[in-house]
């Protein structure tokens, strides 16, 4: 996916994430960067940004954890954790 397929606000989210992820101690998620830009939460936007990251070598080189760490919201992460606990 090319950056031109993202909206201007989505491209700003990408820039914030690139800046943050250069710091080894930062693990900013997409939804957090969307809040900083003032972009209303949207699953479609979040997934477009995630798809862009997967295809961009420079950005994917900054990712230190599983993609779910950056793509999922905290509620989605805790929901998955609870589901795993219930299945045991």
**pLDDT tens-digit readout, 31-58:** 999 999 999 999 999 999 999 988 888 8
Task: Record the pTM.
Answer: 0.80
Cα–Cα distance for residue pair 8/16, rounded to 1 Å:
13
- pLDDT for 7 equals 94
**Average pLDDT, rounded, for the chain:** 85
Q: What is the DSSP string of 14-41?
A: HHHHHHHHTSTT----HHHHHHHHTPPP
pLDDT at residue 4 tops 80: no
- pLDDT for 87 equals 54
Do residues 67 and 54 lie in contact, with contact meaning Cβ atoms separated by under 8 Å? yes
């Amino acid at each position: 996916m090319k950056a031109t397929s993202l909206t201007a606000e989505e491209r700003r989210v990408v820039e914030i994430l690139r800046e943050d992820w250069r710091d080894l101690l930062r693990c900013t998620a997409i939804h957090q960067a969307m809040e900083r830009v003032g972009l209303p939460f949207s699953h479609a936007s979040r997934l477009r940004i995630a798809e862009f990251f997967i295809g961009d070598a420079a950005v994917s080189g900054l990712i230190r954890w599983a993609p779910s760490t950056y793509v999922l919201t905290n509620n989605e992460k805790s929901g998955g954790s609870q589901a795993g606990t219930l299945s045991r």
